[in-house]
Structure 1
């Protein structure tokens, strides 16, 4: 687990400047993705965490209108850039495998194309950590590349894996979530990525009943 985090941090750290140049601003993101994150944000209450925040642009979007939002990322270069670009927001170097917040303290967690680098056998543990950190009624939004579940693909920076809504949904239910929806869209000419996109939303039930 630690070696996986270390290798991901090293891979992104070695190409952080390049990544920031091509995908480090909200204006470079697909408008449909921005709209999806905004819709999800506005359906949540309470503090928000951008898990695997990268350069911080999604954290800044979560923090609009005075929302309490923070970002966490393995890559020191990303966190340094995020702190300098969005000085009013808290960013921390760390792993979303061990989120540094009390149990049931978050209203929402965004994992936007950050879970894709987690080895498939370890995804359930990460989802369980998300469930621990979320308060009853708290929401989760995961963005990922759609394909044969658990199959690796040639990501430009670090090893990554395809998922689909059905398989991730099963893992989410096992971790204590209720799946509430999701979206799919094909890759279009001109996009940075070259693969189909998908997302899934889920919540922690407010009570066992």
Structure 2
């Protein structure tokens, strides 16, 4: 999963990556147990993933960036996509490989993808940009655009809001992390500034049978 600490590179360097990795390494098994029954999310979530899969098609490769235990990766694969998962957390990747042995999972950062320019048909960041400081989102979106082929599609999911959620000692583990909540409009503007065309902007309000406490946003953009 991806990304708040400071380092010598400025207000927001890359220290948040270490904080995020440490957090998810500590809670990986608890997190996987908690979310195992939710699969790839709500019917609306799966519908949006289905639309993304149709837009991408089966020919090119897709990266699930910040894949965690791999449940979204597996769902995208079930839709016919040639997909692999990437995550910062070695513990999350261990679970993903154990539970989805037929899929490929790699360790790495969304900010520095070890992929050639234009090599992907699609990319997904399903609630994995929420630990990246706002100031670094242009870098993230620029890196995703770099690895997408012309016409490639990007699926981005995140919580809607103006204040972050702070999780301190989840599951009793001695770690803490901020979960950023953002408004869809400024995120869409950043995508456009990075060279994307935003095709779809969806906001799902809280549903009675879900654990979501705030609205959820999903953007689909094309390079």
Q: Please say whether Structure 1 and Structure 2 have the same fold, judged by a TM-score greater than 0.5.
A: yes
Distance (whole Å) between structure 1 residues aligned to residue 89 and residue 204 of structure 2: 29
Aligned to 2:67: 53
Aligned to 1:17: 29
Q: Work out whether residues 25 and 57 of structure 1, in 8 Å CA contact, stay in contact via their aligned partners in 2.
A: no
Aligned to 1:198: 217
Distance (whole Å) between structure 1 residues aligned to residue 44 and residue 34 of structure 2: 18
Deviation at 1:65, TM superposition (A): 5.2
Return 5+ residue gaps in structure 2 as ranges.
1-12, 171-175
Return 5+ residue gaps in structure 1 as ranges.
205-209
Given candidates 98, 104, 125, the residue that maps to 1:84 is 98
Q: Deviations over 1:34-53 (max 9, x none)?
A: 22112211211311110000
Given candidates 189, 195, 203, the residue that maps to 1:176 is 195
Given candidates 56, 81, 85, the residue that maps to 1:44 is 56
Distance (whole Å) between structure 2 residues aligned to residue 27 and residue 198 of structure 1: 18
Aligned to 1:207: none
Distance (whole Å) between structure 2 residues aligned to residue 96 and residue 6 of structure 1: 13
Distance verdict in 2 for CA 1:169–1:134, change over 3 Å: same
Secondary structure of 1:167's counterpart equals helix
Q: Indicate the larger mover: 121-130 or 23-32.
A: 23-32
Q: Indicate the larger mover: 63-72 or 112-121.
A: 63-72
Given candidates 125, 133, 140, the residue that maps to 2:147 is 133
Distance (whole Å) between structure 1 residues aligned to residue 40 and residue 143 of structure 2: 30
Aligned to 1:121: 135
Q: Work out whether residues 53 and 81 of structure 2, in 8 Å CA contact, stay in contact via their aligned partners in 1.
A: no
Secondary structure of 2:56's counterpart equals coil
What's the TM-score, normalizing by structure 2? 0.85
Distance (whole Å) between structure 2 residues aligned to residue 4 and residue 160 of structure 1: 12
Distance (whole Å) between structure 2 residues aligned to residue 187 and residue 133 of structure 1: 34
Q: Indicate the larger mover: 70-79 or 1-10.
A: 1-10
Secondary structure of 1:137's counterpart equals strand
Distance (whole Å) between structure 2 residues aligned to residue 193 and residue 153 of structure 1: 12
